Structures are given as structure tokens and as C-alpha cells.
A and B are shown apart, each in its own frame.
Chain A
Amino acid sequence: MNAQAPVIAKPAGAQSVVRFVLPIIVFAAGLAAWELVVRIREIPPYVLPAPSVIFLTLIKDWAVLSQSLATTLLTTLEGFVAASIGGIALALLFNQSKWVEYSLFPYAVVLQVTPVIAIAPLLLIYLEQQTAVVVCAFIVAFFPVLSNTTLGLNSVDRNLAGLFQLYGASPPQILRFLKLPAALPYILGGLRIAGGLSLIGAVVAEIAAGTAGAGSGLAYRIAESGYRLNIPRMFAALLLLSLAGIVIYGVLAVVSHLVLRRWHESALGKES
């Protein structure tokens, strides 16, 4: 019964190496072609900088860029935490009372389908800039958490619910020992989407806010570099944003896997 982990790893080994190596080869080949084209045709860096120039810019401007990265990541994190707590709490509230769900759910949908880029300027009028940016990240990210958690809470096995009823479980007990664990895979799926979306929300709001200074994020750096025709820095900031997105997704995927690995189908290998 303790043998499940090694059993999964072996047959997948060779394939997983290929799955890692192939994209890296494609990436390297793409970079090499890019570098070559720029050098052979002598394209100036303000039109298209070579990868090497972008990399050098990243190192040269690290002081500015790292500060912006920290700002954007902090905003993303705040938006993500707010969206997670807000989404889960609202789903729990909906689950407790149909009346609340019917009254509020349409507005959650309205908030979801209205493009955040259109709301951002309004928020910037009424809220302090930093708050407005976090609220944007929240608006974009909270809906997947809400809808996934709602789905999870409603997906409880009917017989298990009957069992809890038979043994006289109180509502808090049902929530803690039945509904939340049953909804966990769905909640984690929602959080995984929310992580990437809160980064997008933060970037959109930063561009809309467009303020300079020490506290400005990566998105602002991109806009600013564009005005100054500092294209290499634009690419460098973009690179950092992509990396941030990948890391956020990776971290959440790993957390989800670790939490679910002993029981949920999604985290199990094909063998077991």
C-alpha cells in the first residue's frame, strides 16, 4: 500500500524528459534564429533588439526592473489573496442560503463579463491608486474561485451527505468534514486560474493608472519604455512578466498536486 509513488514515476520517466527537453530545444532554436536575423540584416535595437541585447538590458536595468517586478508581484499577491478569500467566502455564503445566491450571483457575473480595462479608469477616480490596482486584480481573479468553489460545494456525494445526516452532524461539521474537503479539488482549480488572472488584472490596472515614480510596476515600465523608444527594456520587462506568470502558475500547480496527491484522480498517475 506504500508503493504508489515509485510505481508512477518509472514508465513516465523517459517521456517526461522529452516533454521538458523538446520545448527547450524549440526555445533555443527560436532565440538563435532571432539573434541571427537581427545581426545579418543589421536591424537597429529600437526596431527589434536581439535576444542578447535584451538579456544585457535586463542585467543593466536590474535595479529599476526588479523594483517594478516587486511592485507588480505584491499587487498580484494582494489581488490573489483578496480574490481567494472573497471568492471562497462568497461561495460559502451562496451555499448556505439560496436567497443570497439568487440575489447576488447576477452581479458577480456582471463584474466578470465587464472588461476590467474599462472599469480601471473609473476605479482610479474613486480609489487611491494602489487600492484601485489591487481591486482590479481582485475583480478579474475572483470569479473563477467563486464559480469553482460553488461547483465543488454542490458536488458532494449524496450518500455521504446522507451519512452525515444519519449521524446527526451539525452544519459546521458538515462544512468542515464534508463540503470543504469535497470541494478542495475544485477550489484549487479555481485558484490556479485566479493566480494568472490576478497578474493580468494588476498589469491592466497599472497601464491604466500610468503613474511614474519608485512605486510603479512592470506594466508601467513597458508603457514608459515604449514612449522613450527604449525597446530592449520593453522586452526585458515583458520577459519578467512572462516569467512571473509561469512561476505563479507553477507554484499553484505544485501546491495543488501536493495537497491532492494521495487521493484525487487529477493528481494520480495513469498506472494506479
Chain B
Amino acid sequence: MVENKTSPSVEASLTALAVSLRGVTKVYDNGVVALGPLDLAVGKGEFVSLLGPSGCGKSTALRLVAGLSAASSGTVRVARHEGEVQIGHGIGFVFQEPTLMPWTSVRENVRLPLKLGGIPKAEGRARADAALASVGLADFADAFPRELSGGMKMRVSLARALVTDPDILLMDEPFAALDEITRFRLNNDLLALWRSLGKTVIFVTHSVFESVYLSQRVVIMTARPGRIQADIRIETVEPRGEEFRTSAAYSDYCRRVSAALAPSYSGQSTL
């Protein structure tokens, strides 16, 4: 992962892979080809953004990795801990909406994956509280989702994805509905969490600026059916912070990513 010139397939042989998609397509029942064929390799501990126009199948790709839907052809491989039964196959998923259960407390929402996995209540509550603390919501464990702001709900959703200690975190435009200030804060918090926890993150977004700011690699997809248009590695001094957001290198990367994205919006519209 040090050499930036290596193509994903060479890189795959060098580093351990967390997720690998080979010739994956998704065709819906109504005949619409949503995705592919798509080849994507994500190394362990990598932060990769999938960027593309709406309807390009980025969310579909994420759902395929999560096992929430099945590929029409091709193979989806997800690395797992060996010899260990993992709750949720070692995957945490953050949806576009917070997707919280409104009828129960924040703590119970975060504890849900553990409850479904048969973890005893006391242990589950302790782990839920720890996960909430890691996203800065330790004081809100007893609150109900409706009592929280949009950003706080998203943090709860993140805590719930982290509570099983997954190896891979899949995020489907998680901050798209938030205001910019809240989004910047959550971007920084997410980066801090990623650095301290060392998880593999696949982050779907339609924001050029967000993808460049957050990820080590930005994978740009074409309009439907989604394929990979470009794979741009973002190299900068870690840890990133506000100074990166305002640096010349940042705007340079944004320009490159936007240029790679341009064919999708200069061509005929799919909307």
C-alpha cells in the first residue's frame, strides 16, 4: 500500500484483501442492468470511497458486499476472521438514513446487533455504552432517537455499526442529509475513529470534496450500469485535519476527481 503506482490487481497480491469483487453484475428483475461488470479490491485497513452519479449502482455494490442482495454474476469475496463465528459476518453497515428503531432507547438501538447475536444483556449493554462513548454520545444512552438531532442520530447509527467490532465498515452516503458544518465534524470524527480502530471502510458518497477529504483511494464510477471509471489514490500527510481541507494539494485532488467524474455528467442524463 506504500507504492502509489500499483494497480489494484497487483496490490491485491501484495496486501491482504478485505473485500474483492470480480466481474460482478447486478440485473434487476425488470431487466435494468444496475451494475457492472465491476472489479474492485479493497485492502485490509484501507479507506476507499465509491464516488459516482446517482443511480450508478454504488449503493447496490455496497449491498452486495454486505450480503443484503445477491450478485447476478461474478464473485464477491469478503475476508473473515478464521475459525471464529462472527456476528453479521464481521461487517458493519451505516445506511443513508440513521435507520434507528424509534420505539426504543439509543442504548437498545446500539445493542441490537449483539442482542440478535445472542450476547448476554449485561455484556451487550456495556459494549453498547462503550460504542456510544466512542462516538461521543455517552450521555444519551437513555434518550429516544426522536430526541436527537440529525447528526446525533447518525452517530448512533455509526455506534451500532461499530458495536460488533466488525473488520469492515460499509457506509452508504451516511452524511448526505446533514448540513455542511455537522458533516465536517462527523468527517473528522470518522477519520479519528478509522485511525484508532484500523477498520476497512468502504464509503459511498456523491460528494467529491468528502471523498477526497476522507479516503486513501477514490474509486469513481460511471453512470448506469456502474463501472469503474478511475481509481485515484489520495496521498497526504496523516493524520489529516482542517489544514488538509484548505491546502492546495486538496483542491488539486478535487480537481482531478471532478475531471474523472466529468464524463458522467456531461453525457446524456440518466435521471
Q: Which of A213-263 contact B (CB under 8 A)?
A: 262-263
Verify if A22 is at the interface (C-beta below 8 Å from B): no
Binding site for A on B (CB under 8 A): 63, 66-68, 87-89, 91, 93, 95-97, 99, 101-104, 112-113, 115-117, 140, 142-147, 164
Known: A163-B93, A165-B68, A167-B112. 12 other contacts (CB 8 A): A159-B99, A163-B95, A166-B67, A166-B93, A167-B88, A167-B116, A177-B115, A181-B103, A181-B104, A182-B101, A264-B102, A264-B103
Minimal Cβ-Cβ distance residue in B for A163: B99
| Complex CA–CA separation, A264 to B88 (angstroms) | 29
Which residue of the partner chain, among A169, A181, A264, contacts B116 with CB atoms under 8 Å? A169
Can you show 29 pairs from A to B with CB atoms below 8 A apart?
A1-B143, A1-B147, A157-B99, A159-B95, A159-B96, A159-B99, A160-B99, A160-B101, A162-B66, A162-B68, A163-B93, A165-B68, A166-B66, A166-B67, A166-B88, A166-B89, A169-B116, A177-B101, A177-B112, A177-B115, A181-B103, A181-B104, A262-B144, A263-B103, A263-B104, A263-B144, A263-B145, A263-B146, A264-B103
Q: How far is the CB of B76 from chain A (nearest CB, A)?
A: 14
Whether A168 lies near B88 (C-beta < 8 A) is yes
Cα distance A272–B66 in the bound complex, in angstroms: 36
**A170 (CB) vs chain B CBs: closest residue:** B116
Q: Is the CB of B103 within 8 A of A184?
A: yes
Interface of A is mostly: helix
Decide yes or no whether A173 CB sits under 8 A from chain B. Answer: yes
**Which residue from chain A places its CB closest to the CB of B99 in the assembled complex?**
A159
Q: Which residues of B contact A160 (CB under 8 A)?
A: 99, 101
Q: List chain B residues, Cβ under 8 A from A181.
A: 101, 103-104
A91 to chain B, nearest CB (A): 18
Give the most central of A157, A166, A169, A263: most B CB within 10 Å: A166
Q: Is A164 an interface residue (CB 8 A)?
A: yes
Closest to A184 in B: B103
Separation of A162 and B164 alpha carbons in the complex (Å): 16
Q: A177–B104 Cα gap in the complex (Å)?
A: 10
Are the CB atoms of B99 and A168 closer together than 8 Å?
Answer: no
